[in-house]
Amino acid sequence: MNPIKPVPSSEVNPDEFLKERAHSILDARRSALVRLAQVALLRILLEQKAATADDVRPLVPVPSGISPKFFGAAPGPLARAGIIRADGFHKSNRKEAHVRPNRIWKLIDRTAAQKWPTNNSPPSDQLSAAGPEIPPSGSNTAEAAP
């Protein structure tokens, strides 16, 4: 199965398509890291009202030589599955992010969020290539966006 999206039909917004296609390419190439970011996002959302990429970043180590852009591919499949939803933006607190806006995500299906990691975890050989396992979300000290 090819995870990279085909060329869009004329009724699809080309900008939205390009973003989705870029995320599908990132997902295909960095699937284990994307899955780790998804699991971290869900763990956070199971414990607090909202989360952004800034909350997930400390929980998913980025291996040397890997761009952290894969974090952008993490929420999409969860939102399309009806597990989370976007709820505005929050300016990043990370110095290197230069106060760019981060999407705020909220949990809408707790049961699906609890089941999702078991049904969608990457193969163990991909995990070892991606880096260490995610620590429990209780170690996350970042505040949730309002």
- The single-letter code of the amino acid at 146 is P
Q: What is the mean pLDDT of residues 25-33?
A: 73
pLDDT at 55: 93
Helix, strand or coil for residue 101?
A: strand
pLDDT of residue 143: 40
| 48 and 146 Cβ atoms separated by less than 8 Å | no
Where residue 142 falls among pLDDT bands split at 50, 70, 90?
A: very low
The three-state DSSP-derived secondary structure of 30-70 is CHHHHHHHHHHHHHHHHHCCEECHHHHHHHCCCCCCCCHHH
The per-residue pLDDT for range 62-78, each reduced to its tens digit, is 887 788 888 888 999 99
pLDDT reported for residue 80: 94
Q: Residue 3: which pLDDT band, with cuts at 50, 70 and 90? A: low
Start-to-end CA distance of the chain, whole Å, equals 40
Asked if residue 1 has pLDDT above 90, the reply is no
Check whether 42 has a pLDDT greater than 80. Answer: yes
Give pTM, 2 decimals: 0.67
C-alpha span between 42 and 145 (Å, rounded) = 15
Where does residue 129 rank: exposed (0-12), middle (13-18), buried (19+ CB within 10 A)?
Answer: middle
Q: In the predicted model, what is the mean pLDDT of residues 86-110?
A: 88
Q: Which CATH number is correct for 14-121, 1.20.1090.10, 3.20.20.190, 3.40.30.10, 1.10.10.10?
A: 1.10.10.10
Average pLDDT value for residue range 118-136: 56
